[in-house]
């Protein structure tokens, strides 16, 4: 909402015409509603990614309309006496339609590769990229079909254009000075680029930017004999505790991680998980420590023997990438447990990690039945005991029965299942000497057993995980932990692999890097077809070199790390920055080829003429992203880091495009003319 208002304000400040402003922004509601309708037909719902795609496109949606309406407005000021109504709007639109169309296609081909990126980045950004593509494609249709009609209808009287102006006159001096001092301009630009790239080691690298919505996960485990009713009562105590906390914003409870009788399953009725979200600004680490101190007494008062574990978490459904996952493989269970314990102890000693978990520590009490001498003498079958006990622990499948042409499953179960050791001991077992109690023919002992033993390629494996406290230090901490694990004396036959956040970061950056290269290649093809050669497209691509200057600088100033959201911002900048260069050089080419202007005058006139639409589109895009940049959102890929990257990169690249691109263009043009003269 605020982004839209900022767009309107920028357009009005530059044009100072209410009708022109209203005509320009009409593309916003049309493009947004069209995008939602098309996405709905494609099976996509309104979620954080589709809405994020629309949100970051708001500034770009109005760009095409701004360029068209600004040119119509300028023609009305300069040629309003010679041309009228539809003819004027048609001629003004025709002058810029090539630049508008090619820049929009360039923006589309920038986002298209995102839909084909593999891994988690591709899954996240497929709906995002489609939303962006559909919205800007719709905006192009509005700009070339509807805006000219509205411009011809509502621009009745416009004050004659005053030659010059403080902004254009001042910029003319700047551009002429730059063209005379090409070496200084290019040298300073290269120094800025090198300086910005040197900031990368200082930024740190993360999957998502530092900071997150404060949330916590509360794990509750009651004694194995407990049922759903008792688990619900304990969970209610935790809910009451959360309600009393001023920091609590919302919470959800899940009871019963797996079904079945607790004697027959690894978990279930005796377990619950409470996920809580707290108000912004909450010190989640301090609050988690407080809850780990206060909650155990509360739950044990309700049910003796209840275990509770509170740990900081991420917003539900999101992946932050600040985790380290160590997988341990072994052929022997004892060696596996020993190695897992060694690595767990090592990770707990690290001051860089928190919330260390080891799935080998997740045990559940089991009853072990061993035939005693009396049972052996009575010729009791172990299989019979398993069947008798099993039938009283869980329902038995008795086949199917067809009713009204529908098959129904039939299960048989005792009216009351075994829930205690005493009931288990008294199970009646048939023997050659008659019925005997289970405790008379078998020894019953209780042992702790692993809840789950994972296997991969025939080997057992355990996983030890931890959360890196500072998300921009994942790579460094992972390397440190890897080195420490390599120094351990692990049991023979044990293999260790390390994954988690570092692996996600590496894969994400590689995939996005490939997407950027593909995007630049596609943009070059589009520009080559537009300008009918290779030189001008290469000059346009030179403007991309200055994206890091502002993007990395903005991240550094705001204390953000270089994350996936920042990389997506840079990908966006490829399309946006190219748009500015296309609008500028399209005018230069027409001045030089159609009007026959000398190269310097062609550049100066184009720079003055295109200054206003370039600044309007750039500032509209930047201000549209200001609310997102100030929101503090950082738990998703559509975050403040993305907005900061685009704002910083677009600000510097726009200024450098207006100065450096003309310098490079004239330098390349004169060099080509010299070579042609020498050849002739």
pLDDT of 406 strictly over 70: yes
pLDDT at 256: 67
Confidence at 213, pLDDT banded by 50, 70, 90: low
Mean pLDDT of the chain: 80
Higher-scoring residue by pLDDT: 212, 342:
342
Q: What is the DSSP string of 149-213?
A: HHHHHH----PPPPS--HHHHHHHHHHHHHHH-HHHHHHHHHHHHHHHHTTHHHH-B-SS-S---
Give the Cα separation of 291 and 238 in Å (integer). 10
Give the model confidence (pLDDT) of 39-81 as tens digits. 888 888 777 778 777 877 777 777 788 888 888 877 777 765 6
pLDDT of 632 strictly over 80: no
Instruction: Report the pLDDT averaged over residues 343-370.
Output: 81
Give the model confidence (pLDDT) of 565-576 as tens digits. 788 888 888 888
How far the first Cα of the chain sits from its last, in Å, is 60
Packing angle between helix 18-25 and helix 48-79, nearest 10 degrees?
140
pLDDT at 266: 42
244 to 135, 216, 239, 249: CA distances (angstroms):
45, 16, 9, 11
Q: Which long-range contacts (CB under 8 A, 24 or more apart) does 512-517 make?
A: 512/117, 512/121, 512/564, 512/567, 512/568, 512/571, 514/113, 514/117, 515/113, 515/114, 515/117, 515/571, 516/570, 516/571, 516/574
Task: Determine if residue 44 is left, alpha or beta; phi over 0 gives left, psi from -120 to 50 gives alpha, anything else beta.
Answer: beta
Confidence at 241, pLDDT banded by 50, 70, 90: very high
Domains located in the chain, CATH noted? 1-162 (1.20.1640.10), 170-198+534-680 (1.20.1640.10), 214-313 (3.30.70.1430), 365-450 (3.30.2090.10)
Confidence at 157, pLDDT banded by 50, 70, 90: low
Confidence at 431, pLDDT banded by 50, 70, 90: confident
pLDDT of 258 strictly over 60: no
pLDDT of 183 strictly over 50: yes
pTM tops 0.85 = no
Instruction: Report the pLDDT averaged over residues 494-498.
Output: 85
For 314, list phi and psi in degrees, rounded to 5: -105, 165
Give the Cα separation of 88 and 81 in Å (integer). 10
Q: At 257, is the secondary structure helix, strand, or coil?
A: coil
Give the Cα separation of 491 and 315 in Å (integer). 38
What is the per-residue burial (b if ≥16 Cβ within 10 Å, else e) of 610-635?
Answer: bbbbbbbbbbbbbbbbbbbbeeebbb
pLDDT of 635 strictly over 50: no
Range with the poorest average pLDDT among 223-227, 379-383, 432-436, 614-618: 223-227
pLDDT of 194 strictly over 60: yes
Instruction: Report the pLDDT averaged over residues 100-115.
Output: 81
667 to 54, 543, 604, 658, 672: CA distances (angstroms):
39, 15, 14, 15, 9
H helix and E strand count, the chain = 24, 15
Q: Do residues 661 and 538 make contact, with C-beta atoms less than 8 angstroms apart?
A: no
Confidence at 153, pLDDT banded by 50, 70, 90: confident
**What letter does residue 254 receive in the DSSP assignment?**
E
Q: Which long-range contacts (CB under 8 A, 24 or more apart) does 287-293 make?
A: 287/214, 287/216, 287/245, 287/247, 288/216, 288/312, 291/216, 291/218, 291/241
């Amino acid at each position: 909402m605020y982004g839209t208002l900022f767009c309107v304000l920028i357009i009005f400040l530059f044009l100072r015409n209410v009708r022109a402003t209203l005509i320009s922004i009409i593309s916003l509601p049309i493009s947004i509603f069209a995008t939602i309708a098309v996405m709905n037909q494609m099976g996509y719902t309104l979620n954080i990614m589709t809405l994020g795609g629309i949100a970051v496109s708001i500034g770009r949606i109005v760009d095409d309309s701004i360029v068209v309406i600004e040119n119509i407005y300028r023609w009305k000021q300069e040629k309003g006496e010679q041309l009228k109504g539809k003819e004027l709007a048609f001629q003004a639109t025709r002058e810029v339609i090539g630049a508008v169309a090619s820049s929009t296609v360039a923006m589309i081909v920038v986002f298209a590769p995102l839909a084909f990126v593999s891994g988690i980045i591709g899954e996240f950004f497929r709906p995002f990229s489609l939303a962006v593509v559909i919205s800007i494609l719709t905006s192009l249709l509005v700009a070339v079909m509807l805006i000219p009609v509205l411009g011809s209808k509502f621009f009745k009287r416009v004050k004659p254009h005053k030659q010059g102006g403080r902004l254009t006159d001042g910029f003319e001096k700047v551009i002429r000075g730059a063209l005379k001092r090409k070496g200084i301009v290019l040298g300073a630009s290269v120094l800025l680029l090198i300086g910005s790239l040197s900031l990368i080691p200082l930024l740190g690298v993360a999957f998502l930017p530092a900071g997150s919505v404060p949330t916590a996960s509360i794990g509750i485990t009651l004694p194995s004999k407990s049922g759903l009713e008792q688990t619900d009562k304990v969970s209610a105590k935790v809910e009451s505790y959360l309600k009393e906390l001023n920091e609590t914003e919302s919470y959800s409870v899940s009871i019963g991680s797996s079904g079945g009788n607790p004697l027959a399953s690894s978990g279930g009725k005796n377990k619950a998980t409470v996920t809580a979200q707290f108000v912004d600004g909450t010190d989640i680490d301090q609050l988690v420590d407080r809850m780990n101190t206060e909650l155990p007494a509360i739950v044990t008062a309700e049910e003796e023997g209840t275990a509770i574990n509170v740990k900081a978490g991420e917003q539900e459904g999101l992946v932050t990438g600040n985790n380290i996952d160590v997988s341990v493989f072994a052929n022997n269970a004892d060696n596996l447990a020993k190695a897992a314990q060694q690595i767990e102890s090592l990770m707990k000693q690290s001051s860089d990690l928190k919330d260390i978990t080891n799935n080998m520590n997740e045990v559940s009490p089991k009853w072990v039945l061993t035939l005693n001498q009396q049972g052996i003498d009575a010729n009791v079958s172990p299989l019979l005991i398993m069947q008798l006990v099993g039938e009283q622990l869980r329902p038995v499948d008795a086949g199917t029965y067809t009713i009204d042409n529908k098959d129904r499953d039939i299960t048989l179960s005792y009216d009351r299942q075994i829930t205690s050791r005493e009931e288990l001991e008294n199970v009646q077992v048939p023997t050659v000497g008659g019925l005997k109690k289970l405790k008379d023919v078998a020894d019953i002992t209780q042992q702790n057993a692993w809840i789950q033993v994972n296997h991969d390629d025939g080997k057992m494996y355990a996983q030890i995980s931890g959360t890196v406290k500072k998300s921009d230090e994942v790579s460094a901490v992972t390397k440190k932990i890897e080195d420490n694990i390599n120094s351990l004396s692990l049991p023979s036959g044990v293999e260790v692999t390390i994954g988690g956040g570092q692996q996600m970061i590496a894969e994400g950056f590689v995939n996005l890097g490939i997407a950027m290269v593909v995007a630049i290649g596609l943009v070059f093809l589009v520009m080559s077809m537009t300008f009918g050669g290779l030189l001008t497209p290469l000059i346009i691509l030179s403007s991309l070199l200055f994206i890091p200057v502002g993007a990395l600088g903005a991240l550094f100033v705001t204390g953000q790390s270089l994350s996936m959201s920042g990389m997506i911002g840079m990908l966006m900048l490829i399309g946006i920055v190219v748009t500015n260069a296309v609008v500028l050089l399209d005018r230069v080419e027409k001045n030089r080829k159609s009007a026959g202007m000398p190269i310097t005058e062609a550049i100066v006139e184009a720079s003055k003429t295109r200054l206003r639409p370039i600044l309007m589109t750039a500032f509209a895009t930047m201000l549209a992203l200001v609310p997102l940049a100030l929101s503090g959102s950082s738990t998703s890929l559509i975050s403040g880091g993305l907005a900061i990257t685009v704002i910083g990169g677009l600000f510097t690249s726009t200024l450098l495009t207006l100065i450096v691109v003309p310098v490079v263009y004239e330098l390349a043009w004169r060099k080509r003319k010299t070579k042609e003269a020498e050849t002739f």
